[in-house]
Amino acid sequence: MTGNKILLTLALTASVVLSVSGAAKDKVVESQWAPRPVLIDGASQDWDDATPILNAGSKVKYALKNDGRNLYIILVFNGDLSKTTIDYTGIQIFLTAGEKKSKDFGFLFLRKQVTADELIATLEKKGQALSEERKAEIRKQKTYAQFSEEPIIPKKAAAAAVPATEAEQPVFRATAQGAVAIYEFKIPLSRINPPGGAGVEPGQSVMLGFEWGGMTKEIMKNVMAERAGSGSVARQSQGASDSGFSDSSGEGEGGGGGFSDFNRDPRYKKHSFWVAAKLAAQGN
């Protein structure tokens, strides 16, 4: 099966999975054993043999794999991601050994566009020594997609039990193929902790939480700046006698309905769901 074929499979199986997802929403999802490491590149060629599962609430399809060292996750968004704020919020994945939901531990995976100089600064901050020739090569392209994986700070009670540094780091990549966006993740099993734990082993249970979208201070600032600009243009076109402020009904040139319309606009909706997963034992 080709890499593109899994996208067709995901679409064709959506209605079937949806029909049973409501009745089986608490069912344990079986992770599939990965006989070789999954290449995290935002493509789907390593998932041709996977059975996709549809989350009915968010319409996101996903699948899980693991080997003896890592948990691999693919999320497939079949639709217009511009209708969410995922570019601002990234995706948070919460991970807990066992069967209890908890947001005490996880990672924030964020993709953002950076300039060439910002990329150079980031690489140097991570300890990479860049020659002037390498910097010049990077500067030939104006912007880059930068992928970051940041630990979610646990609650104070658990913070002291979490090691300050870890040898193995999670990785993610994201790509778009037309209306389909693919997010791939690799999370070391050693990083999936109960508070103070030392990770999980193949064959054990893991609770996964996924969260993205919603309103942020950065989005609010940008939206209000855009509204202020559009209101200024409207006032100039109508003359100084029209203030352009909206009335209490939310109608007017500058207000656009006030803050309450954020709650009604689907672009600012927060999406989340939980998965009770069972890691595959070796060779299963």
What CATH fold (topology level) applies to the domain 3-214+271-278? Immunoglobulin-like (2.60.40)
What's the pLDDT at 114? 85
Residue 141 corresponds to which amino acid? Q
Determine how β-strand 270-278 pairs with β-strand 106-115: unpaired
- For the entire predicted model, the pTM comes to 0.72
| AA identity, residue 234 | A
Per DSSP (E only), the strands in 101-193 are 106-115, 143-151, 171-177, 180-188
Work out the angle at residue 193's Cα, subtended by the Cα atoms of residues 189 and 183, and round it to the nearest 5 degrees.
55
Summarised one tens digit per residue, pLDDT across range 80-125 is 776 778 888 899 999 989 888 989 889 999 888 889 998 899 888 8
**Residue 11 confidence (pLDDT):** 41
Amino acid type, 18 = L
What 3-state class would DSSP assign to 115?
strand
Residue spans per domain, the chain: 3-214+271-278, 218-262
The tokens describing 222, both together, are 């940008």
Name the helix (H) or strand (E) containing 213: strand 205-213
What stretches in the chain show pLDDT beneath 50? 1-6, 8, 10-25, 157, 159-162, 164-166, 232-259
What pLDDT score was predicted for residue 173?
A: 93
For residue 171, how many other CB atoms are within 10 A of its CB? 17
Euclidean distance between CA atoms 52 and 68, whole angstroms:
22
DSSP per-residue codes, 48-86: TT---EEETTTTEEEEEEE-SSEEEEEEEEES-GGGS-H
Which pLDDT score, from 0 to 100, does residue 227 have?
A: 61
Query: Which pLDDT belongs to residue 78?
Result: 87
